[in-house]
Structure 1
Amino acid sequence: MAPDTPVDVPARTDRLLLTAPRREDLDDVFTLYSDPQVWEHLPAGRHTDRTQTALLLQRIRDSWDAVGLGSWVARLAGGPDAGRLVGTGGCDLRLGVTWNLSYRLHRRDWGHGYASELTAAAIGAARRRHPDVPVTAYLLEHNVRSAAAAERAGLHLQWRGPDAGNPDPDAVRLLYADRPLSRVVLELLTAT
């Protein structure tokens, strides 16, 4: 799955400029990922050190370099706040078997339709890159906003069960997908 388009070509939605992560994004992305408000559904995921964010951005960049697609850094494309970070999100290859759709937005940007713009762009990019690879969303059951966003994006619940590796033993994970997943893929995705 080698990339066939340059990694640094930005994508656009109606209101967002989407770019592969760059070093200069670190401070803005750390501010987002260290904000407890955006981690209300998984407090243990909050970044407490810039090194965590730098490693995340490098993993995303590695995805771009390896398969020509990964999550984006999403900034406002126009208006008085042009260039302001809205969040991150997109599709990353998960375990080599599915595109994992995800996003994290600043709390001030919730409820404005940015998640829908970002997820539509991500699914479109994943389907153009490799239409034979399923698109999935892996989320906690109590995160009803993310479940609604997955459903609006055309994904359907495929699995519900314990969240492997979550410090909360009662956490329930949901797996959504744009098509039925094989038993082997389901087992692979839900065991990690």
Structure 2
Amino acid sequence: MSPIETERLRLRRWRDADRAPFAAMSADPAVMEFFPSLLTPDQASAFIDRVEAHWDAHGFGNYALEERATGAFVGLTGLFKVFPEAHFAPSVEIGWRLARPFWSQGYAREAAEAVIATAFAEHDFPEIVAFTAVPNIRSAALMQRLGMTRNAADDFDHPGIAVGHPLRRHVLYRLSRADYERRERA
């Protein structure tokens, strides 16, 4: 997928300079509230390496977000192939994670809408999915604002989270190409 510019954001591939602010963001308990654990700097760096390898292998991935006006690192938004154990695999997931200073400014929605538009324009994905832990109502609300829909029968226990952990149960939202195109024509 191509780099993307929105009114306020630049969505681009990762740079070495992104490692420190991403590590700081990934060690923030508020940012990581709905993840099973915080990331160490080494884990955060390894995550970026996996993201870049995914880009190289598939031609899409999670973008690093930067604020156009300041060049500040904002977070990430992008696409990733869903883990193969998922009942909805194979599919492509959209996700986002923003540093706390950039919350409640509409950046996550702005970036996600741009990623979805580019993904459907440049790839033949039949749908894009998103999922989060049940208590993460902010992300679920964004999924709804993006036009994604949930069928409770699709909800699942995340295989990467321990049995009994309060974040194991996840909700799944979907956006089909047909629904996206219908909404864009309206």
Same fold (TM over 0.5): yes
Match of 2:12 among 15, 19, 24: 19
Match of 2:174 among 157, 174, 177: 177
Query: Are the counterparts in 2 of residues 99 and 133 from structure 1 also a CA contact under 8 Å?
Result: no
Q: CA deviation at 1:131?
A: 2.8
Q: CA deviation at 1:68?
A: 1.6
User: For 2:56 and 2:122, how far apart are their aligned partners in 1?
Assistant: 13
Amino acid at match of 1:87: G
**What is aligned with 2:43?**
52
1:42-86: per-residue Cα shift (whole Å, max 9, x none)? 2x33112x22111111111112112221111111101xxx11111
Pair 1:129-2:131 in alignment: no
**What is aligned with 1:164?**
159
Match of 1:88 among 76, 85, 95: 76
| Structure 2: gaps (5+ residues) | 84-88, 178-186
Query: Are the counterparts in 2 of residues 91 and 101 from structure 1 also a CA contact under 8 Å?
Result: yes
**Structure 1 pair 22–123 and aligned structure 2 pair: CA distance change class (3 A):** same
User: For 1:157 and 1:89, how far apart are their aligned partners in 2?
Assistant: 20
Root-mean-square deviation (CA), in Å?
A: 1.9
| Structure 1: gaps (5+ residues) | 181-192
Q: Report the TM-score, using the length of structure 2 for normalisation.
A: 0.82
**What is aligned with 1:61?**
52
User: For 2:7 and 2:81, how far apart are their aligned partners in 1?
Assistant: 25
1:126-175: per-residue Cα shift (whole Å, max 9, x none)? 21232334201010111000001111111111312333332361432111
Match of 1:140 among 115, 118, 133: 133
User: Per the alignment, in what secondary structure is the counterpart of residue 31 of structure 2?
Assistant: helix
Amino acid at match of 2:82: R
Query: Are the counterparts in 1 of residues 93 and 129 from structure 2 also a CA contact under 8 Å?
Result: yes
Match of 1:102 among 82, 95, 99: 95
Out of 139-148 and 121-130, give the one that drifted further.
Answer: 121-130
User: For 1:163 and 1:89, how far apart are their aligned partners in 2?
Assistant: 20
1:3-47: per-residue Cα shift (whole Å, max 9, x none)? xx6xxx6311110011111222111111111111101122x3311
